[in-house]
């Protein structure tokens, strides 16, 4: 019996088997996750360092080199490449293909924590795995308004839209860039500071102690327990100007006596625009195993439900 005769004799069974495989393939095709990028685990960890406005040559000696030397001691590291600029540095740590990147990330963080206390004060270090699925945004929105200030627009994106979109299934992170973060600026007059025999540290300590929320205790009433808090945060320019620096026989010295207090915004070193106009940029990142198409549709639906309030703004 040749092959053709065997196929002819078992044609019904073979057709049934092909039909079952085709139906199984169609069912699997509709259930497969859809992603913007392939799920590839690159053997690389990126370390970002922020040290304020320190010059690049000092950054390379006091920050980049100690971190790079600590990372080189991690097992499995093949190469460490760094780029240093004023106040910041970026290190790319390469491992062998097939390495356990979850463990590698933990070991890199452990190595950096050993030298973190030796770095200049205020240095911030962050290590992330290089993964196109989680490192690149899937969808982004730009917000502009003729009625709202950049500060109000930032508050809208940060405190209303960001929590709204963070609850969408599959969303890992919503990053808000641009706009203005409102804050108070205290410009100290050195001559007045010397006249009252004070230092900048005295002003810093007084302002920091004034801008806090303190717990005062507990109060029980009718089987209910109430926590008492004192909000000492200055809510206006005048309130911050009235913060007492020193009180004694010579009188009371306040912040307004030695400095000029004004309401302003946090300095922005990166300008965010849309169509040539200042704007707020919202970037949505997905989780590694999320369905990109389903996640984007859900994000668009949430934005559409909030769209009437956008039009009024």
**DSSP structure class, residue 118:** G
Section 241-245 average pLDDT = 85
50 with 95, same domain? yes
Section 175-190 average pLDDT = 86
Asked, for residue 275, whether it belongs to a domain, the answer is yes
155 with 280, same domain? yes
CATH number of the domain bearing residue 239: 3.30.2090.10
More confident call, 304 vs 64: 64
Query: Per-residue b/e over 80-98, b at no fewer than 16 CB within 10 Å?
Result: bebebeebbbebebbbeee
Query: CA-CA distance, 126 to 50, in Å (whole number)?
Result: 9
Express as a percent the part of the chain with pLDDT over 70: 92
Query: CA-CA distance, 55 to 72, in Å (whole number)?
Result: 24
CATH number of the domain bearing residue 64: 3.30.70.1430
**Which two structure tokens, joined as six digits, stand for 282?**
């919202």
pLDDT band at 308 (very low <50, low <70, confident <90, very high): low
160 with 215, same domain? no
89 with 147, same domain? no
Asked, for residue 250, whether it belongs to a domain, the answer is yes
Query: CA-CA distance, 299 to 296, in Å (whole number)?
Result: 5
Query: CA-CA distance, 201 to 239, in Å (whole number)?
Result: 20
CATH number of the domain bearing residue 169: 3.30.70.1320
Q: Tokens 């969408």, residue?
A: 168
Q: How far is CA 168 from the centre of its chain?
A: 18
Asked, for residue 27, whether it belongs to a domain, the answer is no
Query: CA-CA distance, 108 to 115, in Å (whole number)?
Result: 11
- Answer yes or no: are the C-beta atoms of 302 and 168 closer than 8 Å: yes
Q: How far is CA 162 from the centre of its chain?
A: 12
Section 156-183 average pLDDT = 88
92 with 209, same domain? no
212 with 237, same domain? yes
Per-residue pLDDT tens digits for 5-55: 777 777 777 787 888 888 877 776 666 666 656 666 678 899 999 988 888
Per-residue pLDDT tens digits for 193-212: 888 888 888 888 888 877 77
CA atoms within 13 A of residue 216's CA, in its CB half-sphere: 8
Q: What pLDDT score does 310 carry?
A: 58
Q: What pLDDT score does 260 carry?
A: 87
Q: What pLDDT score does 83 carry?
A: 92
Q: What pLDDT score does 125 carry?
A: 92
- Whether pTM > 0.85 for this model: the answer is no
Using alpha carbons, list the distances in angstroms from residue 305 to 27, 309, 311. 32, 9, 12
- Answer yes or no: are the C-beta atoms of 54 and 63 closer than 8 Å: yes
Asked, for residue 242, whether it belongs to a domain, the answer is yes
Q: Among 1-5, 60-64, 157-161, 270-274, which stretch is predicted with the lowest mean pLDDT?
A: 1-5
81 with 207, same domain? no
Using alpha carbons, list the distances in angstroms from residue 158 to 180, 249, 277, 283. 11, 47, 20, 12
pLDDT at 309 over 80: no
pLDDT band at 313 (very low <50, low <70, confident <90, very high): very low
Q: Which domain holds residue 198?
A: 182-265
177 with 190, same domain? no
Q: How far is CA 263 from the centre of its chain?
A: 25
Using alpha carbons, list the distances in angstroms from residue 149 to 153, 183, 266, 306. 6, 14, 14, 19
Q: What pLDDT score does 1 carry?
A: 56
The H or E element spanning position 85 is strand 77-85
If phi > 0 it is left, if psi is from -120 to 50 it is alpha, else beta; for residue 3 that is alpha
Using alpha carbons, list the distances in angstroms from residue 284 to 141, 151, 165, 175. 9, 21, 8, 7
Asked, for residue 247, whether it belongs to a domain, the answer is yes
Residue-level length of the chain? 313
Count of domains in the chain?
3
pLDDT at 92 over 90: yes
157 with 96, same domain? no
Local structure of 181: helix, strand or coil: coil
CA atoms within 13 A of residue 250's CA, in its CB half-sphere: 7
281 with 167, same domain? yes
Q: Helices 65-72 and 101-115 meet at what angle, rounded to 10?
A: 130
Query: CA-CA distance, 307 to 99, in Å (whole number)?
Result: 46
283 with 151, same domain? yes
Q: What pLDDT score does 223 carry?
A: 82
More confident call, 80 vs 218: 80
pLDDT band at 312 (very low <50, low <70, confident <90, very high): very low
161 with 281, same domain? yes
């Amino acid at each position: 019996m040749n092959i053709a005769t065997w196929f002819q004799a078992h044609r019904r069974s073979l057709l049934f088997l092909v039909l079952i495989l085709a139906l199984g393939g169609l069912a699997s095709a509709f259930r497969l996750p859809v992603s913007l990028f392939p799920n590839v685990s690159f053997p690389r960890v990126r370390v970002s360092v922020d040290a304020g406005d320190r010059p690049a040559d000092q950054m390379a000696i006091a920050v980049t080199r100690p971190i790079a030397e600590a990372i080189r001691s991690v097992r499995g590291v093949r190469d460490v490449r760094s780029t240093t600029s004023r106040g910041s540095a970026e290190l790319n740590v390469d491992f062998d293909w097939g390495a356990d990147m979850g463990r590698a990330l933990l070991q890199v963080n452990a190595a950096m924590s050993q030298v973190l206390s030796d770095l200049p004060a205020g240095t911030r270090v962050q290590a992330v795995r290089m993964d196109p699925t989680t490192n690149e945004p899937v969808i982004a929105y730009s917000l502009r308004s003729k009625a709202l200030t950049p500060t109000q627009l930032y508050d809208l994106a940060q405190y209303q839209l960001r929590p709204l979109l963070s609850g969408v299934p599959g969303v890992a992170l919503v990053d808000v860039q641009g706009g203005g973060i409102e804050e108070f600026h205290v410009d100290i007059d050195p001559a007045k500071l010397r006249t009252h025999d004070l230092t900048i540290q005295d002003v810093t300590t007084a302002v920091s102690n004034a801008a806090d929320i303190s717990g005062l205790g507990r109060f029980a009433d009718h089987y209910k327990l109430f926590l008492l808090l004192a909000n000492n945060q200055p809510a206006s320019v005048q309130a911050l100007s009235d913060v007492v620096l020193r009180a004694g026989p010579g009188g009371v010295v306040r912040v307004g006596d030695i400095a000029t207090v004004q309401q302003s915004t946090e300095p922005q070193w990166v300008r965010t625009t849309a169509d040539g106009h200042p704007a707020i940029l919202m970037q949505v990142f997905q989780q590694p195993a999320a369905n990109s198409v389903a996640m984007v549709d859900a994000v668009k639906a949430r934005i559409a439900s909030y769209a009437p309030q956008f039009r009024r703004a």
